[in-house]
Amino acid sequence: MKSPGMAVFKQQKVEDIYEIEEELGSGQFAIVKKCREKSTGKAYAAKFIKKRQSRASRRGVRREEIEREVKILQQILHANIIQLHDVYENKTDVVLILELVSGGELFDFLAQKESLSEEEATQFIKQILDGVHYLHARKIAHFDLKPENIMLLDKNISIPHIKLIDFGLAHEIEDGVEFKNIFGTPEFVAPEIVNYEPLGLAADMWSIGVITYILLSGASPFLGETKQETLANITAVNYDFDEEFFSHTSDLAKDFIQKLLVKDTRKRLTIQEALSHPWITTHQPKEEETKVQESRKDENRQLKTKRLKEYTIKCHSSMPPNNTYINFERFARVVEDVSGMEQTFTALAVSHDSLQEDLDALVSIYNEKEAWYREEHENVRHGLSQLKYEYRKIEGLKKHLQEEVKAVGTSLAGITGKYLDLESHYEALSQEVSEGLQWVQDLTGSFQLEGGSEASTDGGMACIFNKDLNGSLMELLNRSCCEEFLAALNTGVAKSSQ
């Protein structure tokens, strides 16, 4: 049994714990082998799932898909669903150790029977519904219900125990979260899968309707000559109850199928409604009634099992060796990629419109700025021209002032020289005047000696005469020097101004 707390893949060789025996089956990227636990001797089924080595590769299963399958299996504990025992991992594979289901496929078992009644059919369908009810109660959709995934635990009893297997496509359906995908086997997928619409638990109910139709008739309701025709039949819900196959089928059975094969998921039977349908809840006839009707239905039942056998043989012979519809899966991936590209193109278109608006706004801003810069450029250019004119004018004035300063400097040099000449001339003249005064004084002195007594009477007059003479001479000298100096200075200024 699985451990409720198991969450990590064991990183050790599975061969160290289990004896690997013969192959039981294979899928596109998985192979199932019988194995036996060395410590207990108990038999299990080992499912080797090839891991995808890179994101760009299409070979193998992505790690997150394997983890999703393991997570779902770890939540499950029901008599009609296969049980996960353990999980191992190596460089190339993840190995699921599963409950061994050795009774084979349900349809193979029924095809080998000589007869089949509706009552027996309802017992098998009821087990399928019980398993699906357990899943749907936990919001888990299987998404790959088909005869190959409905196995028998042991076929050596009249009504074997059914086990639902292969949860590689199973998903937990979350409220408010839209989930779309294209996967599964074309013959059994619901219209919403083909049309790439939001998926839910109702997809499993459609598959149960197809399985019931085949179980009672040996014919597939939507199977066409090509896969494209099959898918077209599904989207159009193109099927009927051919009298050749359903002439002895009860109306309740047909009603059960009709209410499952409904395109509108809201009108399709839910799992609870299917379990409550009269065809499922009706008890088997009493033993006396069974014996009376046995001879009448023997022939019809034999026809049913013959057709079912033919159907199973045809299915097994037409399937690829790995038991999958490879082309359909490739088509599903292509459609998914195309859808992703469409979403990308839509996002690009929105981004383009947004970018165009931004670009227009930038161009408008650029034009406004360019006009402003042009105006500013004209203003600056005009100001610069005015500055150049003023500069040239100032340069002219500067040159003129320099010339005037130079002329003034020359004039001052001339005046200085003239001043020095006049100063020396003044000194010479002053010397002459001093000598003349000295002579006059000497002369006056001699007059005083000769006069004798007359000197005493005339002394005061002589002093006064000397003072007047000296003052007159000094005034004459100063006036003469000043006039000469000013005349010379005027002459020098006149020459410098010329």
Number of CB atoms found within 10 A of residue 22's CB: 7
Query: What is the C-alpha to C-alpha distance for residues 59 and 56, in angstroms, rounded to an integer?
Result: 9
- In total, the chain counts a number of residues equal to 498
**Residue 452 zone, left/alpha/beta (φ > 0; ψ -120 to 50; rest):** left
Active site residue 144: yes
Distances (CA, A) of 485 to 24, 65, 475, 476: 146, 125, 15, 14
Query: What is the C-alpha to C-alpha distance for residues 279 and 293, in angstroms, rounded to an integer?
Result: 19
Residue reference for tokens 């409604």: 273
Which residue(s) pair with 20 in the sheet?
35
Distances (CA, A) of 382 to 305, 362, 371, 432, 442: 106, 30, 17, 74, 88
**Residue 10 zone, left/alpha/beta (φ > 0; ψ -120 to 50; rest):** beta
Is 51 known to sit in a ligand binding site?
Answer: yes
The values of phi and psi at residue 237, to 5°, are: 50, 50
Q: Which of 144, 204, 255, 358 is catalytic?
A: 144
Bind-site residues for ATP = 51
Bind-site residues = 51
Catalytic residues: 144
